[in-house]
Structure 1
Amino acid sequence: MHPVTTTELFLLAMLIIYCLPYLVWRLGRTEYYAPLVVVQIVAGILLGPGVLGGIFPSYYQTIFTPDVIKMLSGLATWAVMLFVWIAGIELELHKAKANARETAVTAGLAMIVPMALGSLVAAGLLNSSNIWAGNKGNNVQVILGLGMSCAVTALPILILFMEKLEILRAPLGQRILRYASLDDIAIWGVLALILLDWERIGRQAVFLVAFIIAAFLIRKLMEALQERDRWPVSLVWLAAVALGADWCGLHFMVGAFLAGMVLEARWFNQERMDLFRHYILLAFMPVFFLSTGLRTQWESGGVMVFAAAAALLVAAIAGKLAGVHLAGRILKWQKGEASIIGWLLQTKALIMIIFANVLLDKQIISNTSFTALLLMAVGSTMLTIPMVTPRLAKLKSLIVRDS
């Protein structure tokens, strides 16, 4: 009997990654409260060292060897870079400019209030124990990171949810996209601030200047190209900017978002872009979810991890709803409107998980904090559809009302 090769173990891991979540999602009919993407995230957690590795350590160590994990991590890294890049491209800031006051008020309050509440929870956690900060994270970075995690809106998942609710192309859906898009920029801006490295400030300044010049040139080039050439050129652009951002200490994920943000959605066929995002989510992102699950840790926190996740979840939801309700009062929205918008904007999965992965990569937060954030993201996302569906049914006029 020949020894099992690394390639065979990798393919076995891939079989588990794709088979298990699909069977749970399809046979369990979880779509209403747990779409496939949520089931994949939960499966990643369960397949990680804290659950499968704790129950069946020998099986876990046999399949998820260091070489297999490296192969999965490389695939996951490129997949999530593509996903963040697409999120940057799909920002439609020109629409935000056309409704500047409404968008700024809503997006601002929808971010500031949950961030403030999340920061208070983070300060309490740090005061209670030293297990929440990473080896290179100071208190300000940890508090800001956990606070911003509570304010994140997962724009790609929000789009999927609004498609499911059949409001994406309606005026209400376009309004919500404007709010989420503005917050998306703020989120990555805060991340860049958290990652600001005074020891590499010279490199970061060089990168910023080079990026501004290169962005001007790439926009000129993309305008001159046909669409069939824009796709390969834009992928070269993505790899180059991500490399530059990582070189200067900002992290390749910040670079991926910047690479997409300077490109225009109108340069690409919308149907092809939707399909491209869909296939990345279907074919590659499950690997990222497993890689994320492999980074969870329960030993040092125990019950405290679940308590922290619950506290962060309350801060995230209460803060988002409070901020949006305050915006509704200022802008004189009709009754019930703020609840629908607030529940949709509190969707956390994917972008928050990516955000937390970056913080963990840079050792700003610990694996324990990362696990709590992951649980919070899952809970937040699972609540969205069940909370929005009945509210939307009562206020059907919102779907067609202009912004």
Structure 2
Amino acid sequence: MSPDTMIAHFVGASALIVVAAHAGGRLARRLRQPYIVGQLTTGIALGPSLLGSVAPDLYESLFPAAIGPALTGFAQFSLVVFLFAVGYELDLKVLGDRARTSVTVALASFVVPMAVGSGCALVFRDPLRDLGMPRDLSPAMVVFAGVALSITAVPVLTAIVRENGLSRSVPGVVAVSAAGVLDAVCWTVLAAALLDTGDARAALDWPWRVALAVGFVTVMALAARPVLRRLLWRTRLEPSLRLALLIGFALGSAWVTHSLGLHVIFGALLAGVVVPREENGTLDPDLLRPLHEVGSLLLPFFFVLSGQSVTLNSMTGTGWAALLVVTLLAVATKIGSGTVAARLGGLDRHDARTVGVLLSARGLTELIALNAGLEAGLLSTPLYTVLVFMALATTLLTQPLLLLTRGPAARDRPAAPAPDTAVKPYAGG
């Protein structure tokens, strides 16, 4: 394929991806579902399992193998921008007066699903082997199975909280706060699992990679923030130039973590966390708004890339049974652990159930982790397909379960006041 032909194919595929994914997201929102549900469903529909099976010639024409690297590059860039914004928005001060309750809920909703997921990986070895996994799972694979059940998607959760009028309620603030702590724990454990994989991309052995990763995090935490404050804030650069330099900073950080055998997602998150806020502690709207707009525009490339790896024809009877079991466990462990911990933290039974249901939403964060696991060889393609559908199912179930849990009496009660510090949701949901 000549360069001109490849460019033409890429431009045409990009037009289809952007329009179709946002149309799917819009339809999902009209059906009272998160935007991500429509975008992910569109990505799967444009993949080899549906479009490739129904119209293979059309699929090959729209997505020839030659444009694969370009689509992957756009997908990775969108992840860096998105997670840079997530890291910048992350503020554990949102815990406020309910810090103990939120931390308790976060730890419970991590430990219980983590234990169940890792335990199932050890117990159900034969079904996992039928799904393409090795007979003897590595420690990293076992840990990843637990992380896959433990993740909560903060962007989806905050969108659901806002759309249900819970932003200033006790369960809404506790759920968002706990999810922020939970995500930090999950990303840390996932990073440790990936460092232990012996990824061929990294030339160094894992002890050296661990030491370099710790050193990099230390330098970013201690030196990057004051340097950025002096260079970008005190010099009062114009917003567009500041945005360009910070995205470059995020990309550079992502490159470092990728070179250490981790995923670009960790560098992007870390870069966002260390970027200083305004002098009064607020987020810079001139930085956050364009980050959201760029991320919202380009994330469909990530959803299509995720859909390319979903193989419906690999879903045997074992696969469908695994999907049912994993989805039930994913919902039950999150709702159960979150509800019990919230009750122990002093919430009444209605608010505690609401917290548990909200924490069961996975969505985009789960997909990012699953893609990292697939790239690192911690997942087979059939098991990846099962877990992607689990993420989609748990996201779809959150809104109906929330309406069922709250009930007429709970919906009619006035929301309890809370500090106006809730994490603002990402537009993509």
Normalising by structure 2, we get a TM-score of: 0.84
Contact 1:313-1:380 within 8 A present in 2 as well: yes
Q: How far is the alpha carbon of 1:309 from its aligned partner?
A: 2.0
Instruction: Please show how residues 231-310 of structure 1 align to structure 2 within 5 Å.
Output: 231-266=243-278, 269-272=283-286, 275-310=289-324
Structure 2 CA distance for aligned equivalents of residues 390 and 118 of structure 1: 26
Per the alignment, residue 45 of structure 1 pairs with 44
Q: Which region of structure 1 is more displaced relative to structure 2, 79-88 or 140-149?
A: 140-149
Mapped pair 1:14 → 2:20: no
Per the alignment, residue 205 of structure 1 pairs with 211
Per the alignment, residue 416 of structure 2 pairs with 400
Q: Which region of structure 1 is more displaced relative to structure 2, 340-349 or 9-18?
A: 9-18
Query: Closer, same or farther in 2 for the Cα pair 1:158/1:129, shift >3 Å?
Result: closer
Q: How far is the alpha carbon of 1:395 from its aligned partner?
A: 2.2
Contact 1:192-1:250 within 8 A present in 2 as well: yes
Structure 2 CA distance for aligned equivalents of residues 29 and 43 of structure 1: 10
Structure 2 CA distance for aligned equivalents of residues 107 and 154 of structure 1: 13
Structure 2 CA distance for aligned equivalents of residues 355 and 37 of structure 1: 15
Deviations 1:296-345 (A, max 9, x none): 12344423323222211111110011101211331231121122111111
Mapped pair 1:323 → 2:329: no
Deviations 1:204-243 (A, max 9, x none): 3123213312432221123333263653343232122211
Contact 1:137-1:363 within 8 A present in 2 as well: no
Contact 1:125-1:308 within 8 A present in 2 as well: no
Q: How far is the alpha carbon of 1:294 from its aligned partner?
A: 0.4
Per the alignment, residue 142 of structure 2 pairs with 143
Query: Closer, same or farther in 2 for the Cα pair 1:147/1:398, shift >3 Å?
Result: farther
Instruction: Please show how residues 1-400 of structure 1 align to structure 2 within 5 Å.
Output: 5-24=5-24, 26=26, 31-96=30-95, 99-132=98-131, 138-197=137-196, 199-224=205-230, 225-226=232-233, 228=239, 230-266=242-278, 269-272=283-286, 275-389=289-403, 391-392=405-406, 394-396=409-411, 397=413, 399-400=415-416
Letter in 1 for 2:10: F
Q: Which region of structure 1 is more displaced relative to structure 2, 303-312 or 71-80?
A: 303-312
Letter in 1 for 2:350: G
Q: Which region of structure 1 is more displaced relative to structure 2, 368-377 or 224-233?
A: 224-233
Per the alignment, residue 425 of structure 2 pairs with none
Letter in 2 for 1:17: I
Provide the secondary structure at the position in 2 that maps to 1:363. coil
Normalising by structure 1, we get a TM-score of: 0.89
The list of structure 1 runs, each at least 4 consecutive aligned residues, that deviate by more than 6 angstroms after superposition, is none
Query: Closer, same or farther in 2 for the Cα pair 1:183/1:292, shift >3 Å?
Result: same
Contact 1:85-1:256 within 8 A present in 2 as well: yes
Letter in 2 for 1:179: A
Structure 1 CA distance for aligned equivalents of residues 371 and 305 of structure 2: 10
Structure 2 CA distance for aligned equivalents of residues 233 and 274 of structure 1: 14
Query: Closer, same or farther in 2 for the Cα pair 1:129/1:23, shift >3 Å?
Result: closer
